[in-house]
Chains A and B, each alone.
Chain A
Amino acid sequence: MERTTIDLWVGIFAAAGAAALFGLALKVGNFNSATLGETYSVTGAFENIGSLKPRAPVKSAGVVVGRVDNIRFDPETYEALVTVKVDKRYPFPKDTFANIYTAGLLGEQYIGLEAGGDDKMLQDGDKFSKTQDAVVLEKMISQFLYSKASESNEDKEAK
């Protein structure tokens, strides 16, 4: 088959396009970290999850060990049920503490796991026994103002 310069240009074009797609997947997107290996899922009940979203990272000691799989509302206990998928390579003890943290002041929310001291490990389908809710900024501010106000009242009374 005869080779023409047009073939060369089309080849360059297709290769550059494919390279751009790979570049987007690897450099811009989270193709690396999105692929967890085999996982086990654990559920936790929270009174308030703030603005936690599905696919938010699950971190332990700052390392991503899993992702939030889905979030449901339990109409019987009025709590949020959050199912997380944790990588099978990282087993956690039964009494692991699940907290909802915020990355930075206005950043995204994620679940932080703090390992406990139990000998038994969490299995697929288990529940977190201890959870801590998301910090709601408005609540904190109002509590702070309230305590400040009562402090100044006490000061006046002391005088």
Chain B
Amino acid sequence: MFSALANMLRGIGHRIVDRLWRFGSGLRFFFYVLIYSGESFRRLHLTIREIYFTGVMSLIIILVSAFFVGMVLALQGYNTLQRYGSSEAIGVLVALSLVRELGPVVTALLFAGRAGTAITAEIGLMKATEQLSAMEMMAVSPVARVVAPRFWAGVFSMPLLAALFSMVGVLGGYLVAVPVIGVDSGAFWSQMQASVDFREDIINGVIKSVVFGVACTLIALFEGFDAPPTAEGVSRATTRTVVNSSLAVLGLDFVMTSFMIVA
């Protein structure tokens, strides 16, 4: 009984130390990427290629989800707002919730699922098939050649995707609110413009999406780079990418919102 308890404690301690260990090596990996990122700007075509795979290929899922999110927001918002006789405020509701929260957060979650998993699986497989070791043998740093371009591509794509998400979401909300429900088009836009602040809302949303871009891409890259070089290891790493990215996005979102909302 005593030894069982001791084993349990040991297990917990081991897990905590393991997490901290991985966190530390993740940070070290981040600095590596920053140090070696000169290469990704000097050989820009590598980064451009990765922007195509992470950013452009994610466009369809991001735009379609944004459209539906905007339409649902308008429907739900109208349902509640009309009870208070202020259904014109629907534009404010749709725009503020998209620009401040849903745009950056949902984009980051979709991005982690669409692009993050692809990055992890690709790098994990490169490691399993010893392509990374082969590069090192040829004195090519895999961090500079493989990791850094993907990192900068993710950081570049994320804010653009989030901005597109917010814009398309607002258009979706407009389509439901104005032609379908019959809210006045002028009131929709003018109330929105009166309440959405460029500095406080839009720029803060962009800041959020940049931070999410760094977090999601870095987690995907690190999990792939750190994956055990087996089929099982790669599959586990892919799962961890989605779980850790989503948790990181939601946690960071709370921290950043609490900073931004004070002022």
Do A and B associate with each other? yes
* Contact B198 A21, beta carbon cutoff 8 Å: no
Asked if B196 lies at the interface with its beta carbon under 8 angstroms from chain A, I say yes
Residues 137-158 of B, flagged 1 when their CB comes within 8 A of A and 0 if not, give: 0000000000000000000010
**A contact residues around B48 at 8 Å (CB):** 6-7, 10
Interface residue count on the B side (C-beta < 8 Å): 33
Q: Is the CB of B170 within 8 A of A30?
A: no
Q: Taking A29-B201, A34-B198 as contacts, is the C-beta distance between A10 and B164 under 8 angstroms?
A: no
Chain A residues near B49: list those with CB within 8 A: 6
- Judged by a CB distance under 8 angstroms, whether B106 is at the interface is no
Once the chains bind, are B161 and A29 in contact (CB under 8 Å)? no
Answer whether A13 and B198 are a contact pair too, CB < 8 Å, given A20-B167, A24-B166, A28-B170.
Answer: no
Q: How many residues of A contact B (CB 8 A)?
A: 28
Q: Is B55 an interface residue (CB 8 A)?
A: yes
Given contact pairs A10-B51, A17-B160, A27-B189, A55 touches B197 in the complex (Cβ within 8 A) = yes
Residues of A within 8 A of B196 (CB): 28-30
B95 at the interface (CB under 8 A from A): yes
Asked whether A106 and B84 contact (CB < 8 A) given A6-B49, A10-B48, A31-B198, the answer is yes
- Expressed in whole angstroms, the minimum distance between the Cβ of A154 and any Cβ of chain B is 35
B52 lies within 8 A of chain A by Cβ: yes
Contact B202 A25 (CB under 8 A): yes
One digit per residue, 1 when the CB lies within 8 angstroms of any chain A CB and 0 when it does not, for chain B 49-85 equals 1011001100100000000000000000000000010
Task: Return A18 CB to nearest CB of chain B, in Å.
Answer: 7
Given A27-B189, A29-B193, verify A20-B160 contact (CB < 8 Å). Answer: yes
Contact B198 A29 (CB under 8 A): yes
Q: Which residue of B lies closest to A12 (CB)?
A: B56
Question: Cα distance A16–B84 when bound, in Å?
Answer: 37
Q: Is the interface of B mostly helix, strand, loop or mixed?
A: helix
Tell me which residues across on chain B come within 8 A of A6, comparing CB atoms: 48-49, 52
- A24 touching B55, Cβ below 8 Å: no
Out of A14, A33, A106, name the residue touching B193 (CB < 8 Å): A33
Cβ of B180 within 8 Å of any chain A Cβ, yes or no, is: no
Is the CB–CB distance between A25 and B198 below 8 Å?
yes
Contact with A13, one of B55, B84, B206 (Cβ below 8 angstroms): B55
Q: A28-B99, A33-B193 are in contact. Are A9 and B199 (CB under 8 A)?
A: no
- Measured in the bound complex, the distance between the Cα atoms of B49 and A34 in whole Å is 39
Q: Which of B52, B95, B163, B195 contacts A21 (CB 8 A)?
A: B163
Chain A CB within 8 A of B116 CB = no
**Chain B residues, CB < 8 A from A29:** 99, 193, 196-198, 201-202
**Which residues of A lie under 8 Å from residue B164 when comparing CB positions?**
16-17, 20
Q: How far, in Å, is A78 (CB) from chain B's closest CB?
A: 26
Question: Contact between A9 and B52 (Cβ–Cβ < 8 Å)?
Answer: yes
List 15 extra interface pairs beyond A13-B52, A27-B193, CB under 8 A: A6-B48, A7-B48, A9-B52, A17-B160, A20-B164, A21-B163, A23-B167, A27-B189, A28-B167, A28-B170, A28-B196, A29-B197, A30-B196, A31-B198, A33-B193
Q: State the A residues within 8 Å of B (CB).
A: 6-7, 9-10, 12-14, 16-18, 20-21, 23-25, 27-34, 55, 57, 104, 106, 108
Q: Which 5 A-B pairs have the closest CB atoms?
A: A17-B160, A20-B167, A20-B163, A29-B198, A31-B198
